[in-house]
Amino acid sequence: MPFFPSLDDVLQVRVVSHYDNQNGINIRHCKVTQIDGAGVQMDEIARELDQDIGPLIKPLLGSFATYRGTEVKNLTGAKNVPIHSDLAAGPGTGGAQPMSKQTSGIATIRSDQAGRQFRGRIFVPFPAEEESESPGKPTAGYVTALGTYAGYFTGTLIIGGAPDTITIQWGIWSRQTQTLTPATGLVARDKWATQRRRSDYGARNDPPF
């Protein structure tokens, strides 16, 4: 049965990467702000996002890690099981020497409103040692690629082909208020961050697909 999102539906997008026994999952949200023609089915949305995101995240992953694909789920409209696409799946194109699994690149997603609740963060998993330089910070090339990847999740995006398209607005989702604040900017940080649950001491995490 085909699933079409409706106007003002909020979609959850999960970008899945994997290395050894750990997943790296980036979760972002967007809102359907315009529908033209018949609109776009959820599986087509997943395919288009996957094919956009794969080439953006792979340079941030070491060659030992794998981009697994992108999953989309409607949070506020007609409920459906998550739908994923792995057409762009494949190994990272970064260096070959792993850093510790918990090490991550980090970018801050910003909105036009003040306060921590109106900001988001993306912890990008599994960088390579070759992307780090003295005194223990990401290289300029890594930071640039990080900004390109994180920037994809700001502003608006048209999905589909005329005359059947939807426009989505990327944003920062509040579970508490069930509202999405538009994401308007970002800062790609020139420091490494950590995600302890991805470490060698973390529980095993098998890929969701």
pLDDT digits over 53-75, tens only?
999 999 999 999 999 999 999 99
Asked whether residue 209 carries a pLDDT value surpassing 90, the answer given is no
pLDDT at position 39 is: 97
Nearest-angstrom CA–CA distance, 16 and 151: 18
pLDDT at position 88 is: 98
Average pLDDT in the 137-148 region?
A: 98
Pairing mode of beta strands 83-85, 103-110: unpaired
- pLDDT tier at 97 (50, 70, 90 boundaries)? very high
Nearest-angstrom CA–CA distance, 83 and 138: 33
Residue linked to tokens 């223990």? 136
Asked whether residue 190 carries a pLDDT value surpassing 80, the answer given is yes
Asked whether residue 162 carries a pLDDT value surpassing 90, the answer given is yes
- For the chain, the structural domain boundaries read 10-198
- pLDDT tier at 1 (50, 70, 90 boundaries)? low
Cα atoms in the Cβ-side hemisphere of radius 13 Å centred on 155: 9
pLDDT at position 60 is: 98
- pLDDT tier at 203 (50, 70, 90 boundaries)? confident
pLDDT at position 113 is: 85
pLDDT at position 192 is: 98
